Amino acid sequence: MFPKATLVATVSLALLTSANPIDRGTGSSIPFAKRSGLTTEDGIFDHQRAIISTIQTHNKHRRNLMNLQANDAASMSEGAEVRPLRTYDSLDKRQKEATTDEGSDLEWAGTISIGTPPQEFLIDFDTGSADLWVPSTNCTQSACSSKHKYNAANSSTSAMQSGTFSIQYGDGSTSSGPVLTDTVSVAGIKSTGQYLSAVTSLSSGFAADPLDGILGMAYQKISTLSHPPFVNQAKSEGSIKDAVFGMKLAHTGSELYIGGTDTSLYQGSVEYHAITGSGFWQISGASALVNNKTTNSGFQTVIDSGTTIMYGPPSAVKTFYASVPDSSVFDSTNGFYQFPCDSVPPVAFNWGGKNWNVSAANFNLGQTSSGSKYCVGALAGQDLGLGGNVWLLGDSYMKNVYSVFSFDQNSVGFAALS
C-alpha cells in the first residue's frame, strides 16, 4: 500500500534479560507459559511485578494525557481524563526489592547513537510515548552508575535549549534534566536537530534495568518536550522518505524497521486502519473475540510497544471474561483474571478485517501459584484514563503480528508474521 522507501534501515532488537538465560533443556512446569517478564522461570505469574508494571503503565499514560491536555486538549478521546499518580507505597517493601532484583523483565531494545562523535545508548523503542531521553554525565545518583551517560561537552553538535524535562514516577522518584538538541542516529538514519533530554536525576526504578533510556515513537501531541519525535524529525530533514516504521517483537529476530516495512518478516498484505488523531497510535472499530465469538465490539485500541500486557476498561474486561469458561477474578484491585491452565482461551482482535489471534503462549501469564491449575490472563481491567471506550494493547498483542506505524498515512497496520 505504501511506496517502497528508498532509504530504509533496520535495528536489530536484542531481547534482553538481566536474569539467567532459560535452560530450555530442563523443561519448566508449564510448557506453554513463555516468559513475558511477568512470568517467573517456573511458569508462575509474578504478581508483584505485574502490579508494578501496571502502575508504571498507568503513570506513563497519565503523563501522556497531561501533555495532550497541554498541547492539544481538543483531541483527547471521549471520557479521557488525567487520573491521579499511582504509587507503589502500598506494596510490601521486601517483595518489591525481590522483584527488582530478579530483573526478569523482557524489553525490546536496540542501540542508537547521539552526538558527534557518536555516543552509544541502549534504548527501549516505545510506541506509547513521544520523548527521547538518556542519562547525563551530570547524573551522580546511584541509579545512573551502570548506565551509558551522555556527555554534552564531548559532542560538537550538542546545543543547550531552554526548559527542563521532568517525569514523576510511582516510586516517588523523578527523572529530570535539561533539554538540548543533537544529532541522533538510529540504524544509520540521522536526525541532526533532534530534541532530547539528558537526565541528571534518574528514577531509582530504572537502576536494575539494563536500558539507558527511551525513544518515544508516538505523536508530538503527547510529548513532554513538545518537539518532533525522531521519525518525524528525520523525515522533515529528508533522512527518510516515508515516516513509517515496522516492528516485529518476538523471542528471536525482533526488529524495528524505519522508513518502510521489512517485507521479509511478514506475508500477505498489511491491513491498515486510520488512527483517531489523539496523539496515540489509536485505532477504532475494534472487536474482541473468544473462541471465535465476539465478546466486545466498537471500542478503540492504543497500540503500545512499551506496555507488557493488555488492558481494557474494567466493565468491558468483565464482559470479556464472562465468555471464558471457568474464569474468575484473581485480583480485583488490579483487574487480573484467572482461567484453567489446560484450556487457554483462543483470543483474537478484529478491526473490520481479519481476526488477529493472540496465541495461548502470549495470553497466558502463568499459574496463579505453584501447583495451581489456574493461570492469569494477559488482559486486565484498568481505568487508565485513556477514555471510557479505549483499550491498551501492549506486547501480549504485538508479539502475534507484524505491526506498521505510518505518520504519513496516519494509520496502524497489521500483517501475518512469516
Ligand X SMILES: *[C@@H]1O[C@H](CO)[C@@H](O)[C@H](O)[C@H]1NC(C)=O
* Residues belonging to the active site: 126, 304
- Contacting ligand X within 169-188 (CB under 6 A): 178
249 binds ligand X (CB under 6 A): no
Of 13 and 134, which CB lies nearer to ligand X in the complex structure?
A: 134
Binding residue for ligand X, selected from 20, 26, 292, 333, defined by CB under 6 A: 292
Of 29 and 166, which CB lies nearer to ligand X in the complex structure?
A: 166
Please identify which residue in the block is written with the cell numbers 528508498. 6
Nearest in space to 158 (alpha carbons), one of 131, 174, 136: 136
357 binds ligand X (CB under 6 A): yes
Of 154 and 343, which CB lies nearer to ligand X in the complex structure?
A: 154
Of 69 and 151, which CB lies nearer to ligand X in the complex structure?
A: 151
CA distance linking residue 67 with residue 229, whole number of Å: 14
Torsion sign (Cα): 383, 387, 390, 396: negative
Instruction: Mention every residue, 6+ apart, whose C-beta is less than 8 A from residue 258.
Output: 8, 9, 10, 11, 186, 187, 189, 231, 234, 240, 245
Smallest separation, CB 115 to ligand X (Å): 9
Binding residue for ligand X, selected from 151, 176, 192, 334, defined by CB under 6 A: 151
Binding mask 23-62 toward ligand X (x if CB under 6 A, else -) reads ----------------------------------------
The residue range among 71-79, 91-99, 130-138, 250-258 that interacts with ligand X, by the rule CB under 6 A, is: 130-138
CA distance linking residue 23 with residue 93, whole number of Å: 30
CA distance linking residue 83 with residue 386, whole number of Å: 9
Alpha helices (H) along 15-87: 47-72
DSSP state of 2: P
Binding mask 271-290 toward ligand X (x if CB under 6 A, else -) reads --------------------
Of 55 and 225, which CB lies nearer to ligand X in the complex structure?
A: 225
311 binds ligand X (CB under 6 A): no
Of 38 and 415, which CB lies nearer to ligand X in the complex structure?
A: 415
Q: Is the peptide bond before 345 cis (omega within 30 degrees of 0)?
A: no
Nearest in space to 39 (alpha carbons), one of 365, 398, 374, 370: 365
Please report which helix (H) or strand (E) contains residue 235, including its range: helix 230-236
Of 210 and 346, which CB lies nearer to ligand X in the complex structure?
A: 346
Binding residue for ligand X, selected from 133, 150, 219, 230, defined by CB under 6 A: 150
Smallest separation, CB 51 to ligand X (Å): 30
* In contact, 2 and 249? CB cutoff 8 Å: no
Smallest separation, CB 290 to ligand X (Å): 9
Binding residue for ligand X, selected from 52, 68, 112, 198, defined by CB under 6 A: 198
The residue range among 135-143, 265-273, 277-285, 331-339 that interacts with ligand X, by the rule CB under 6 A, is: 135-143
Size of the site for ligand X (CB under 6 A): 14
CA distance linking residue 129 with residue 225, whole number of Å: 11
CA distance linking residue 407 with residue 232, whole number of Å: 8
346 binds ligand X (CB under 6 A): yes
Question: What own/partner pairs with CB < 8 Å and gap ≥ 24 does 355-360 have?
Answer: 355/289, 355/292, 356/397, 356/400, 356/401, 356/414, 357/400, 358/310, 358/396, 358/397, 358/400, 359/399, 359/400, 360/32
Smallest separation, CB 266 to ligand X (Å): 12
Angle formed by the axes of helices 47-72 and 93-102, nearest 10°: 90
152 binds ligand X (CB under 6 A): yes
The residue range among 34-42, 74-82, 133-141, 388-396 that interacts with ligand X, by the rule CB under 6 A, is: 133-141
User: What residues line the site for ligand X (CB under 6 A)?
Assistant: 119, 136-138, 150-154, 178, 198, 292, 346, 357
